Structure 1
Amino acid sequence: MGVVLLADDDRAIRTVLTQALTRAGCRVRATGSANTLWRWVEDGEGDLIVTDVVMPDGDGLDLLPAIRRKRPDLPVIVMSAQNTVMTAIRAAEAGAYEYLPKPFDLKEVLAHVKKALDGRGGRTDETPEPGGRDETMPLIGRSPAMQDVYRIMARLMTTDLTVMINGESGTGKELVARALHNFGRRKSGPFVAVNMAAIPRDLIESELFGHEKGAFTGATDRAQGRFELAQGGTLFLDEIGDMPPEAQTRLLRVLQEGEFTTVGGRAPIRADVRIIAATHQDLRELISEGRFREDLFYRLNVVPIRLPPLRERVEDIPDLARAFLRRAESEGLPRKTISAKALDVLRGQSWPGNVRELENLMRRLAALCADEMIDAAVVETELAARPSSAADGDRDGGGTLSTAVESHLRRYFALHGDALPPAGLYDRILREVELPLIALTLSATRGNQLKAADLLGLNRNTLRKRIRDLDIPVTRGKKLM
């Protein structure tokens, strides 16, 4: 396919990638030195670079601007074990063709290599000027789920594309929106956020587009709307699914025509804003119910970003917990640390309130824990005091059976830390599901095994054997539910 210049100070990674790339038809030159890589670039060698960030004699990202100036058509794929959103953003700003977090998926690396070599050219996106950035990044997490989010965000920094962020309450949708603004081309403009669910429906149009004096009862003066306040910057429309139909129509016009009028006004006003929307609802379901415009959905859903719930990124909980304790300390609460066993307890929870719930818990622990070290017993006590609706969020009508089973398994694996659970997991989990299923079915049929077998779709003899094996008590004529 072409010549790949591979730079990584880890000999094992160089060996694995060299073998895989060679099998894929590439010729490979590999080094653990940034200086050697640059010499190859100066000599005109290679059709593609695959480089680590941190090397003994330099930083792969620091080389990128020079590579782009020297050979603008040479694509560069950056790999890094520093799996933060800032690494992804730095790679995008420096003009990387792609950013891949370590540990990487070999098939994914090969797919990007093939795509880059087929294209034979680096990205031509305009890159923002460095400087003026807020380095205190609120997004935390090194999990694969968050890496996917970071890579999408990094690609969006140099664009004004409309973004739709979807995620459960408490996952950090506004943090993503603010990051897209703070690191984008509109960072010098205002960031204006408005929550559709927090505004009375009859006032939403006025809030968004402003109104003229006398436009309605109580409009004693002209008032600017959020679109005017966000001119030159970003307008974040949170809980867009709660927008009433009339406002949806006006918003669609803004997206189509690039202008709007105030309530009671006639003169069009140019809308110089980037739109980022967010919702925890399924907008396609709202469309089928006639509660959300399909044409507006497609205008907003140009680039979708799905934020994973905390239960899908439990490996991020230790970093999040420590960061929230540091934040609490910076706000005047006592300095606290947290034990490894306490973190294991946190990883074993379902977190229906997601990152926001975890942050609130860490603030309470920082304020109330008497010792500097927060141990497992303190965490368990505080968790036990949570409202039952929070503690049982995904057990009492909050999701599907598969979601509940998944949550249970995540807690089970988390409690074992880095070690694997004992062997026989498949049979053990099946028993945990089968026992209540049969017991509750027998209860519903008042102990009638023939009816229970029919309801379960089992042979009666099979049901009897399972009742014996699972030691399930059978009481005729009594319904336990």
Structure 2
Amino acid sequence: MTKGAQILLVEDDASIAMVITAALEEEGHTVHHSESIAGRDALLAQHGFDVLLTDVILTDGDGIVSLSGVSEAYPDLPIIILSAQNTLDTAVRATDTGAFEYFPKPFDIDELVRAVAQASAQRPGDISGPAGDTESLPLVGRSQAMQGVFRMITRVLNNDLTVLVLGESGTGKELVAEAIHQLGARRAGPLITVNAAAIPRELIESELFGHEKGSFTGAVARSIGKFEQAQGGTLFLDEIGDMPLEAQTRLLRALQSGTIRRVGGAEEIAVDVRIVAATNRDLAPMIEAGLFREDLFYRLNVVPIDLPPLRERADDIPALAEHFLKLAEDEGLPRRRLDDAASKTLSKREWRGNVRELKNVMFRLALLAREELIDAESVDDLLNKAPAERSITAEGFGGALGHWLSEVAPADGTLYHTALAAFEKPLFEHALQETGGNQLKAAHKLGINRNTLRKRLGELSIDPDEFSGR
């Protein structure tokens, strides 16, 4: 381990500064401490440092914003960012500065000491910062488990390493794929999603690689597959554990060679895509049973990202709940807030359906709650009563809709369309949920034509793949 490095620590919390200083000095480093940006700049002008450790929120400004001048003046100075602002936005902003490492608080002091040693022994690499709207990505969580997810996301933004996202259904694996794409180097290209669980076995190779006219019954024209559609961008292979073995073999070949061949075609087509895969299955026993190719697993599992179930990040539930209430308001439902008791009630629930279940509950509360401030009794009433007890009669639904319309107060001439817009999207989502994303069955359940359903799904921005296999 490198000894005797000169460290500049910028931290306005005296207790945290004391712990970090003690740990680094025990390793033989010399630590200079400042509580402010102004003090940091004065010390930088007076001394030469091997590593800069800095908090984000300081007494005289934003530590990240002020780092642009530091990076210009001291381009070879490794920077390690510490932050209690534990959001994906902060993690990405830290990466945007070209920081050597980012540590959300609370952090493992031994891990920080190791990072300081590594930073003092080498210069930071050429890191081009990501661009994109991190606030629009609904990845919410300040728990330690989610901070690990955020850090892993930031580490893969500026490379094309294959990522395998693991987690139970409803944990938000598709949101990780969206974040990697939207914030990464391929953000200018398309993000194409393939849900292996939603495609019939006989059609999956055509979906992935395309087909030539006449290659099989029904192939009346050439079709471009998802690999070609994703050229220059990201291909998200969702529910990869449900892919049939014959398709796994062709997928492995495509990943190894960087080329694909359309079904029924002879031409080898070069493809340039970044692969993000996801599964809610445990692939190890599937490999042992011969249901999943081991060589494909190792090809996909270059950078694994484990998404924790909601029950293991209960501290995030209040923030997630408020986030979903805001989404519900953005979609036209009444403004709602949770009181402290309601937040605690939600946090105690196991949430077997994970984040997706929580979102559904919050949207129902936004529609059915009688008051703007939701209390624990309202939450208990929705969660704990037997289904028969909490079923909504036609009269009850009409009352709830009437109450909502009186709050929204639509302009004259818009009442019908306002009410229709309020329940049409959740109605279609319910039908897709009940049918596992099968559009034909959903159309039959709704009593409408499949083409009408497809048209309205597009107009309402509903992705049927989100409901596949759930």
TM range (shorter): 0.7 to 0.9
Higher Cα Rg, which structure:
1
1:361 is matched with 361
Q: 1:286 to 1:57 in 2, by over 3 A?
A: same
Counterpart CA distance in 2 for 1:86 and 1:387 is 39
1:343 is matched with 343
Q: In the alignment, is the contact (CA less than 8 A) between 2:171 and 2:309 conserved in 1?
A: yes
Q: How does 1:124-163 map to 2 (within 5 A)?
A: 124-128=125-129, 130=131, 132-133=132-133, 135-163=135-163
Q: How does 1:346-425 map to 2 (within 5 A)?
A: 346-385=346-385
- SS of 1:61's equivalent in the other structure is coil
| Paired letter, 1:121 | R
1:28 is matched with 31
Q: CA deviation at 1:61?
A: 1.5
Match for 1:48 among 48, 51, 56?
A: 51
Q: How does 1:62-101 map to 2 (within 5 A)?
A: 62-101=65-104
Q: In the alignment, is the contact (CA less than 8 A) between 1:171 and 1:356 conserved in 2?
A: yes
Counterpart CA distance in 1 for 2:326 and 2:282 is 35
Gaps of 5+ in 1: 389-481
2:174 is matched with 174
Counterpart CA distance in 2 for 1:329 and 1:3 is 51
Q: CA deviation at 1:129?
A: 5.9
Q: Deviations over 1:255-306 (max 9, x none)?
A: 1110101111111111111110000001111110001111111110010000
Counterpart CA distance in 2 for 1:43 and 1:107 is 29
| Paired letter, 2:327 | R
Counterpart CA distance in 1 for 2:127 and 2:82 is 22
Q: Deviations over 1:180-201 (max 9, x none)?
A: 0000011111111111000101
1:190 is matched with 190
Q: CA deviation at 1:237?
A: 0.4
Match for 2:122 among 120, 123, 129?
A: 120
**Count of residue correspondences:** 385
Counterpart CA distance in 1 for 2:178 and 2:93 is 17
2:204 is matched with 204
- SS of 1:13's equivalent in the other structure is helix
Q: 1:225 to 1:386 in 2, by over 3 A?
A: farther
Counterpart CA distance in 1 for 2:50 and 2:357 is 48
2:464 is matched with none
| Paired letter, 2:362 | M
Counterpart CA distance in 1 for 2:134 and 2:15 is 36
Counterpart CA distance in 2 for 1:230 and 1:386 is 46
How well do the aligned residues superpose, as a CA RMSD in angstroms? 1.6
Q: CA deviation at 1:385?
A: 4.1
- SS of 2:284's equivalent in the other structure is helix
Counterpart CA distance in 1 for 2:274 and 2:63 is 32
Q: Deviations over 1:166-209 (max 9, x none)?
A: 00000000000000000001111111111100010110000111
Q: CA deviation at 1:43?
A: 4.3
- SS of 1:360's equivalent in the other structure is helix
Q: CA deviation at 1:217?
A: 0.1
Q: In the alignment, is the contact (CA less than 8 A) between 2:232 and 2:273 conserved in 1?
A: yes
- SS of 1:214's equivalent in the other structure is coil
Question: TM-score, normalising length from structure 2?
Answer: 0.79
Counterpart CA distance in 2 for 1:366 and 1:307 is 27
Q: In the alignment, is the contact (CA less than 8 A) between 1:141 and 1:319 conserved in 2?
A: yes
Q: CA deviation at 1:327?
A: 0.6
Counterpart CA distance in 2 for 1:387 and 1:269 is 54
1:39 is matched with 42
Q: Do structure 1's residue 240 and structure 2's residue 243 form an aligned pair?
A: no
Counterpart CA distance in 1 for 2:163 and 2:36 is 39
Q: How does 1:426-465 map to 2 (within 5 A)?
A: none
Counterpart CA distance in 1 for 2:253 and 2:70 is 44
Percent identity, please: 54
Counterpart CA distance in 1 for 2:63 and 2:250 is 47
- SS of 2:281's equivalent in the other structure is coil
- SS of 2:252's equivalent in the other structure is helix
Counterpart CA distance in 2 for 1:38 and 1:153 is 31
Counterpart CA distance in 2 for 1:360 and 1:387 is 15
Gaps of 5+ in 2: 389-470
2:444 is matched with none
Q: In the alignment, is the contact (CA less than 8 A) between 1:322 and 1:338 conserved in 2?
A: yes
- SS of 1:177's equivalent in the other structure is helix
- SS of 1:50's equivalent in the other structure is strand
